[in-house]
Amino acid sequence: MGYREISLQLPTDYHEDDLNGGIAKQLGIREFSYQIENKSLDARKKGNIHWLVKVLVLSDEVSGVALSLFPSLNIRHCKTNKKAVVVGSGPAGFFSAFVLQKAGIETTLIERGTEVHTRAEGIREFEKTGAFNPIANYAFGEGGAGTFSDGKLTSRSKHISKERQFILESYISAGAPEEIGYMAHPHLGSDNLRKLVKNLRDAFSAIGGRMLFETLLEDLKIENGKVIEAITSSGSMEADYFIIAPGHSAYETYRMLIKKGVRFRTKNFALGSRVEHPQRVINKAQWGRESLPGVKAAEYRLTSPGDNRLPVYTFCMCPGGIVVPAAAYHNTNIVNGMSRYRRNGTFANAACVAGIHPDRLIGREASPGQALDWVQALEEKFHRYSDGFAAPFCSIQNFIDQKESANTAESSYPLGLKAAALWELLPAEISSSIREGLREFSRKIPGFETGTIMGLESKTSAPIQVLRKKERCCIGIENLYVVGEGSGCSGGIISSGADGIKAALHIVESN
Ligand SMILES: Cc1cc2nc3c(=O)[nH]c(=O)nc-3n(C[C@H](O)[C@H](O)[C@H](O)COP(=O)(O)OP(=O)(O)OC[C@H]3O[C@@H](n4cnc5c(N)ncnc54)[C@H](O)[C@@H]3O)c2cc1C
């Protein structure tokens, strides 16, 4: 029995027969099985858009040896009675807890928000009535910020291939479509994610893991450079290891960590707004037509030097998605984007942000605490402007021209839009760069300027980063690990999950 790896070009709406026929023809064989390794859309030539499919073919009629292409984690079982407390059930917290429990370390995972079903109800109510729920919203609750998202599983982080594979395998075992294992741009969709986080919770419980919802980490008791206890709203918890994975929305948790002597530094991050277009405008620009059989919706990723002072780029594009009110607190107003697996909504949206350092925004050297205060104050300013959660907006053309207008716009945003001179709500330097970026994007994507720009995007990445050793434990506090997006060392579902896993593996290796 031999293996061969081959690449095929297939029509966008190909069927399994086309794939089988392509393999048989290219290798001149009749009996075989195959595994898809990679599938990406080649849309470079609008007249010839096709899938590029890489397959591993197994047959008696070919020679060749299969490589182990996707090695996953080898989790050692520890003979120990050590305990761990993990804070936050987002990808970083959940996957670190899952690995620890699999390795035999008795793990309790606490989450300030509710379990996913109640969370979905809280979000539904918020979008219907505007009544914000502090424990069931887009930021807080089971699965973290990644649950009600597009569920894109791409990551540019290096050296995480085993962790990435473990995350994908865990999602597939929990019921995710198998294609996430080979698509070049895999995504889950918020409808799948809701079910997956519940199934993953069941898998964690089945191996003895304990998960507590509506349990807020309030404080840490630290003695002689070691955390002794986590003080939570459900009581004190003792453990040998503490992994904190709070995401980057939990301001009071950040402040508590800073107060307890966990060291952070400021770093570059990004601020801006979200742009939205009818999906057909994006499809037409990318494909030369409004729909393409066999492909859900066109994507884009754009970069620009802006006004040559701050780089501008689009981020977290959600094809066929909706813009969502992603505030973590009742008096802040921010936006983000999500979509369902089928990506069949009418609109496309993406963050359009400029990269900047907090010192530059604030105009002087800022401490980590001051950087957080500054971002939170901006989120509150947007809330005050709208007197709630409507998204301040204008057309992209008006943003470029700095021209106020009382236009209304069609949008997927559930809590209404409020006309605004958005460029005045954002910091001047950010607006100036974004304006030039939008000009350039309108040259690259015909019709881009006809879209809408709305709200505040302040969560593309954290403005601060924890000082930690390469093993991920905090400098000066040996059994405390701050991981995931809140550590400022990762961003996105995969890289945050991988960051948590690496911390867990370090704990496992030291036992
Ligand atoms: C709407 C939206 C769409 C997104 N789309 C994508 C996407 O398509 N692809 C992608 O890769 N990324 C996406 N992201 C970003 C992604 O969700 C995050 O990068 C990722 O979830 C970070 O994982 P994390 O575990 O570090 O933190 P989080 O997911 O933020 O999880 C942190 C958890 O900790 C809990 N917590 C915080 N403080 C405490 C405390 N004191 N006590 C107890 N619990 C606490 C929170 O409630 C939360 O559940 C999106 C984000 C949003 C908001």
Nearest CA to ligand 1 atom 46: 140
| CA 495–ligand 1 middle distance (angstroms) | 12
Calpha distance 508→506 (Å, rounded): 5
Does 329 sit in the ligand 1 pocket, CB within 6 Å? no
| CA 42–ligand 1 middle distance (angstroms) | 31
Structure tokens at 233: 């709203």
| CA 27–ligand 1 middle distance (angstroms) | 46
Does 492 sit in the ligand 1 pocket, CB within 6 Å? yes
Calpha distance 143→161 (Å, rounded): 22
Which regions of the chain are under pLDDT 50?
none
| CA 153–ligand 1 middle distance (angstroms) | 14
Calpha distance 156→472 (Å, rounded): 19
Structure tokens at 94: 């959940």
Q: What are the C-alpha distances in Å from 493 to residues 34, 123, 156, 355?
A: 29, 20, 11, 20
Q: Is 21 helix (H, G, I), strand (E, B) or coil?
A: helix
Which one of 85, 94, 108, 112 would you pick to mutate in the ligand 1 pocket, going by the greatest count of ligand atoms within 8 A of its CB?
Answer: 112
Nearest CA to ligand 1 atom 18: 492
Nearest CA to ligand 1 atom 17: 146
Whether 297 and 348 have beta carbons less than 8 Å apart is answered as: yes
Calpha distance 201→211 (Å, rounded): 8
| CA 410–ligand 1 middle distance (angstroms) | 28
- Please state the atom number of ligand 1 nearest to the C-alpha of residue 88: 34
Closest-CA residue to 458 (of 139, 41, 191, 87): 139
Does 484 sit in the ligand 1 pocket, CB within 6 Å? yes
Q: What is the pTM of this model?
A: 0.95
Q: What is the pLDDT of residue 67?
A: 54
Calpha distance 481→393 (Å, rounded): 40
- Please state the atom number of ligand 1 nearest to the C-alpha of residue 154: 11
Closest-CA residue to 457 (of 426, 436, 421, 493): 426
Does 115 sit in the ligand 1 pocket, CB within 6 Å? no
- Please state the atom number of ligand 1 nearest to the C-alpha of residue 139: 53
Whether 216 and 232 have beta carbons less than 8 Å apart is answered as: yes
Structure tokens at 125: 């109510």
Question: What's 27's DSSP letter?
Answer: H
Calpha distance 181→72 (Å, rounded): 12
CA 58 to chain CA centroid, nearest Å: 36
Calpha distance 109→245 (Å, rounded): 10
| H helix runs in 130-182, sequence order | 161-173
Does 436 sit in the ligand 1 pocket, CB within 6 Å? no
Which one of 98, 99, 140 would you pick to mutate in the ligand 1 pocket, going by the greatest count of ligand atoms within 8 A of its CB?
Answer: 140
Count, residues in the chain:
511
- Please state the atom number of ligand 1 nearest to the C-alpha of residue 337: 1
Nearest CA to ligand 1 atom 13: 492
Calpha distance 202→78 (Å, rounded): 22
Does 463 sit in the ligand 1 pocket, CB within 6 Å? no
Closest-CA residue to 3 (of 53, 68, 65): 65
Does 213 sit in the ligand 1 pocket, CB within 6 Å? no
Q: Is 48 helix (H, G, I), strand (E, B) or coil?
A: helix
- Please state the atom number of ligand 1 nearest to the C-alpha of residue 94: 25
Does 245 sit in the ligand 1 pocket, CB within 6 Å? yes
Does 92 sit in the ligand 1 pocket, CB within 6 Å? yes
CA 184 to chain CA centroid, nearest Å: 16
| CA 110–ligand 1 middle distance (angstroms) | 14
Nearest CA to ligand 1 atom 27: 247
Does 22 sit in the ligand 1 pocket, CB within 6 Å? no
- Please state the atom number of ligand 1 nearest to the C-alpha of residue 110: 43
Calpha distance 86→241 (Å, rounded): 8
What DSSP line would sit under 434-476, residue for residue? Answer: HHHHHHHHHHHSTTGGGSEEEEEE--SS-SEEE-B-TTSEETT
The b-or-e profile of 124-146 (16+ CB within 10 A means b, else e) is: eebbeeeebbebbbbbbbbbbbb
Does 147 sit in the ligand 1 pocket, CB within 6 Å? no
Q: What is the pLDDT of residue 70?
A: 62
Q: Is 368 helix (H, G, I), strand (E, B) or coil?
A: helix
Does 322 sit in the ligand 1 pocket, CB within 6 Å? no
Q: What is the pLDDT of residue 69?
A: 55
Which one of 493, 495, 501 would you pick to mutate in the ligand 1 pocket, going by the greatest count of ligand atoms within 8 A of its CB?
Answer: 493
Q: In the structure, how many helices (H) and strands (E) does the chain have?
A: 13, 23
| CA 453–ligand 1 middle distance (angstroms) | 24
Closest-CA residue to 426 (of 395, 462, 393): 393
Site of tokens 């709200």: 455
Which residues make beta-bridge pairs with 241?
A: 84
